[in-house]
Amino acid sequence: MPYITAAEVRSFAPLVVGSWTDAQMNSYFISQAENRINAGLAQRYTTPISPTPLMVAEIARDYTIKLLLEKAVTYEGMNENRWLEMWVSRTDSLLTQLSRGEIALISSSGTIIEPARDDVWSNVKDFTPTFTVLDPLDQELDPDRTKDD
């Protein structure tokens, strides 16, 4: 199930969508936006996420509209558009925060979606090195190492 439909994009920004057909939007713009979202969220969650959380739908909408605007407005001369850059920067920041776990991903029912992957763990947290952090030539084996263990 896609994160957003062409009809939703069209209802949010009818002037931006213009003459693009739903098939064109689905095959290029929406799929590109979803790929970008999945790439960002795959670090922490199992993708694609279904049902679509509202925050993910918002990110999908923003990326899709950004791609449409780039194609329609800045395609010819690749004009610089500060408003578009700020908007996409905000969306990028939101996706980064979600992928790092800085903010919670909330389902449409209001519950927190638990990450599929936990943080990295280590089986050597209590490890005490045998040698010091000195230069290798100055390192010496601890003479009472067996008593320390």
- Predicted local confidence at residue 83, as pLDDT: 75
For residue 95, give Cα distances in angstroms to 50, 99, 100, 131.
17, 6, 9, 43
The rounded distance, in Å, linking the Cα atoms of 121 and 108 is 31
Whether 61 contacts 95, CB under 8 Å:
no
pLDDT digits (tens, 9 = 90+) for 75-126: 555 566 677 778 788 999 999 999 988 999 998 888 888 888 655 566 666 6
If DSSP codes are grouped into helix, strand and coil, which group holds residue 20?
coil
Place of tokens 């970008």: 36
Provide φ and ψ at 106, rounded to 5°: -105, 135
Average pLDDT over residues 59-87: 74
pLDDT in tens, 37-57: 999 999 888 888 889 999 999
Output the average pLDDT for the chain: 79
pLDDT at 8: 87
